[in-house]
């Protein structure tokens, strides 16, 4: 999943997922401003450093599905608070990553 030589992007992705799950389970004190900013910045790093050109389409497809499912899960799974919290944290992580990869892909397509 990572571009060659980009260990920062791989670690950012793993750390972001761990933070999202830990915070979602209520072990990290909830989604405070600091956690939201950290997840957002990690998402930007993942989008910028972690997705190689050949992985763009699968990442965008998976990212969009995850964002849609996480957004709509509030209606279905809203009664289970910790699941909703995990999805909220994943949204904060994946929305910027998906947006960055989508913009990079549009610029790549425009150059052709």
- Condensed to tens digits (0 to 9), the pLDDT of residues 39-90 reads 999 999 999 988 888 889 999 999 999 999 888 887 777 678 888 888 889 9
Q: What integer best gives the mean pLDDT of the chain?
A: 86
Joined tokens for residue 5: 């030589």
Range of the domain at 78: 7-107
Residue 47 located in a structural domain: yes
Distance CA 45, CA 98 (A): 11
Residue 66 located in a structural domain: yes
Q: Is residue 13 predicted with pLDDT exceeding 80?
A: yes
Half-sphere exposure for 17 (CA within 13 Å, toward CB): 7
Residue 68 located in a structural domain: yes
In the chain the beta strands, taken as DSSP E runs, fall at: none
Residue 112 located in a structural domain: no
Residue 2 located in a structural domain: no
**What total of structural domains would you count in the chain?**
1
Residue 44 located in a structural domain: yes
Residue 1 located in a structural domain: no
Angle at 64 between CA 62 and CA 68, to 5 degrees: 115
């Amino acid at each position: 999943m990572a571009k060659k030589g980009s260990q920062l992007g791989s670690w950012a992705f793993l750390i972001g997922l761990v933070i999202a799950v830990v915070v979602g389970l209520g072990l990290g004190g909830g989604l405070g401003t600091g956690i939201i900013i950290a997840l957002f910045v990690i998402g930007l790093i993942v989008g910028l450093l972690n997705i190689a050109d050949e992985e763009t389409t699968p990442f965008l497809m998976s990212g969009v599905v995850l964002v849609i499912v996480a957004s709509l899960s509030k209606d279905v799974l809203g009664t289970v608070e910790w699941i909703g919290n995990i999805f909220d944290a994943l949204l904060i992580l994946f929305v910027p990553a998906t947006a960055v990869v989508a913009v990079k892909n549009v610029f790549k397509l425009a150059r052709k």
